[in-house]
A and B are shown apart, each in its own frame.
Chain A
Amino acid sequence: MQSFKPTRRTFLKTGTAAAALIGFGPAVLRGAAAQEADLAPYKSAKIDWQQASGETITVAVIPASYFENLITLAPQFKTLTGIDVRFEKIPPAQIRQKCVIDLTSKTGTYATHAADPMYYSLYAANKWVEPLDGYLKDKSLTDDAWFKFDDIIPAWRAADSIDGKLYGVPYDGEVTIQVYRKDLYDAKGLKPADTLEAYVANAAALNNPNDRIWGAALRGVAGAGQNMYIYPSIFREFGGEWFKGGKLTVNGPEAEAALAWYVDLMRKYAPTAAANWNWPDIADAFSQGTVANYIDAHSSASVVNNPEKSKVIGKVAYARWPKGPSGKRVTSIWNWGFPINAALPEKRKKATWLFIQWAASAETQARTAHRFAGPTKRSGVNRTSIWKDADYVKLMNGFGSNFVEATMQALQEDTDVDWRPRVPQWPAIGDTMATAIQSALSGQATVKAALDDAQKRIEPMMRG
Chain B
Amino acid sequence: MTQAATTTARDFGRVLAQRERRFAAALLAPAFLALMATTTFPLFFLIWTSAFRMDLAMPFTNGFVGFENYSVLLADERFWTSLVVSLVYTVSTVVLQVVIGLALALLVMDMKRGQGLFRLIAILPVVLSPAVVGMIWRTFMLAPEFGIVDFLAINAGLGSKNWLGDPLLAMISVIVIHTWQWTPFAFMVLLASLASLPEDIYEAARLDRATAWQRFRRITLPLLRPAIVMVIIMRTMVALTAFAAIFTVTGGGPGTATEILNLYAYRKSFTELSIGYGSALAVALLIVTILISAILFAMRRAK
Binding site for B on A (CB under 8 A): 97, 100, 104, 122, 125-126, 220-224, 271-273, 275-276, 423-428, 431-432, 435-436, 438-445, 450, 457, 461, 464
Q: Which residues of A contact B251 (CB under 8 A)?
A: 221-223
Q: List 30 A-B contacts (CB under 8 A).
A: A100-B56, A125-B57, A125-B58, A126-B56, A222-B253, A222-B254, A271-B144, A271-B145, A272-B144, A273-B145, A275-B162, A275-B164, A275-B165, A276-B138, A425-B57, A427-B272, A428-B274, A435-B252, A435-B253, A436-B255, A439-B254, A439-B255, A439-B256, A442-B165, A442-B253, A442-B254, A443-B166, A444-B254, A464-B60, A464-B61
Q: A425 to chain B: closest CB distance in Å?
A: 4
* Set B58, B165, B274: member contacting A276, Cβ < 8 A: B165
Q: Which of B61, B164, B272 has the most CB of A within 10 A?
A: B272
B residues less than 8 Å from A461 (CB atoms) = 57, 272
Query: A221 CA to B162 CA in the complex, in Å?
Result: 13
> A457 to B271, alpha carbons, bound, how many Å?
14
Query: What's the nearest-Cβ distance from chain B to residue A101, in Å?
Result: 8
**Interface: B257 (CB within 8 A):** yes
Determine if B167 and A431 form an interchain contact, defined as CB atoms under 8 angstroms apart.
Answer: no
Give min CB distance, B180 to chain A, whole Å.
20
Q: In the docked arrangement, what's the CA distance between A424 and B60, Å?
A: 12
User: Which residues on A sit within 8 Å (CB–CB) of B165?
Assistant: 220, 272-273, 275-276, 441-442
Which 10 pairs across A and B sit closest by C-beta, in order of nearness? A439-B255, A442-B254, A428-B272, A275-B165, A444-B255, A272-B144, A273-B144, A425-B57, A424-B57, A444-B167
Could you tell me the distance between the alpha carbons of A409 and B16 in the complex, rounded to whole angstroms?
A: 88
Contacts of A273 in B (CB 8 A): 143-146, 162, 165
Q: Is B96 an interface residue (CB 8 A)?
A: no
Tell whether, in the assembled complex, residue A272 and residue B162 are in contact, meaning their CB atoms are under 8 Å apart: yes
Q: Are B144 and A126 in contact, with the CB atoms below 8 A?
A: no
B23 proximal to A (CB < 8 A)? no
**Chain A: minimal CB distance from B172 (Å):** 14
A252 to chain B, nearest CB (A): 20
Rounded to whole angstroms, the CA-CA distance of A254 and B145 in the bound complex is 34
Interface check B12, CB cutoff 8 A = no
Whole-angstrom CA separation of A444 from B164 in the bound complex: 12
B255 touches A428 (CB 8 A): no
- The answer to whether B59 touches A126, judged by C-beta atoms less than 8 angstroms apart, is yes
Contact of A104 among B56, B160, B255, B257 (CB under 8 A): B56
Instruction: Give Cα A100 to B56, complex, Å.
Output: 9
**B58 cross-chain contacts in A, Cβ below 8 A:** 125, 424-425, 464
Nearest B residue to A275, CB-CB: B165
Residues of B within 8 A of A224 (CB): 271
Kindly state the separation between the CA atoms of A435 and B254 in the bound complex, as whole angstroms: 8
- Which residues from A are CB-within-8-Å of B252? 435
Q: Beyond A222-B254, A438-B255, A442-B167, is A431–B267 a contact (Cβ under 8 Å)?
A: yes
B265-297 Cβ-contact flags toward A at 8 Å (1 or 0)? 001001111100000000000000000000000
Tell whether, in the assembled complex, residue B255 and residue A435 are in contact, meaning their CB atoms are under 8 Å apart.
yes
- Smallest CB separation, B244 vs chain A (Å): 14
Q: Which residues of chain A come closer than 8 Å to B56, judged between CB atoms? A: 100, 104, 122, 126
Q: Which of A271, A432, A438, A464 sits near B253, CB closer than 8 Å?
A: A438
Among B145, B162, B165, B257, chain A packs the most CB atoms within 10 A around the CB of: B165
Complex Cα distance A425/B143, Å? 33
List of A residues within 8 angstroms of B78 by Cβ: 457
Please measure, in the bound complex, the distance between the C-alpha atom of A280 and the C-alpha atom of B178, giving whole angstroms. Answer: 27
Bits for B159-199, please: 1 = Cβ < 8 Å to A, else 0.
01010111100100000000000000000000000000000
Which residues of the other chain, A, contact B59 by a CB distance below 8 angstroms? 125-126
In the complex, A431 Cα to B259 Cα: how many Å? 13
On whether A272 and B160 interact (CB within 8 A), knowing A126-B59, A431-B267, A442-B257, the answer reads yes
With A222-B255, A425-B57, A442-B170 known, 7 other A-B pairs at CB within 8 A are: A424-B58, A428-B272, A432-B272, A440-B255, A442-B167, A444-B255, A464-B60
Give bound CA distance, A444 to B146, whole Å: 24
In the assembly, what is the distance between CA of A126 and CA of B138, in Å? Answer: 38
- Give the chain B neighbours of A438 by CB distance below 8 A: 253-255
- B57 lies within 8 A of A441 (CB): no
Contact A442 B166 (CB under 8 A): yes
Q: How far is the CA of A425 from the CA of B270 in the complex (A)?
A: 13
Closest-by-CB residue of A relative to B272 is: A428
> Whole-angstrom distance from the CB of B243 to the nearest CB of chain A?
15
Shortest Cβ distance from residue A452 to the other chain B in the assembled complex, whole angstroms: 13
Please give, as numbers and ranges, the residues of chain A lying within 8 Å of B257 by CB-CB distance. Answer: 442, 444
CB of A272 within 8 A of CB of B145, answer yes
> In the complex, what residues of A have CB within 8 A of residue B164's CB?
275-276
Residues in B with CB closer than 8 Å to A126 are 56, 59
Query: Could you tell me the distance between the alpha carbons of A224 and B271 in the complex, rounded to whole angstroms?
Result: 9
Cα distance A343–B193 in the bound complex, in angstroms: 58
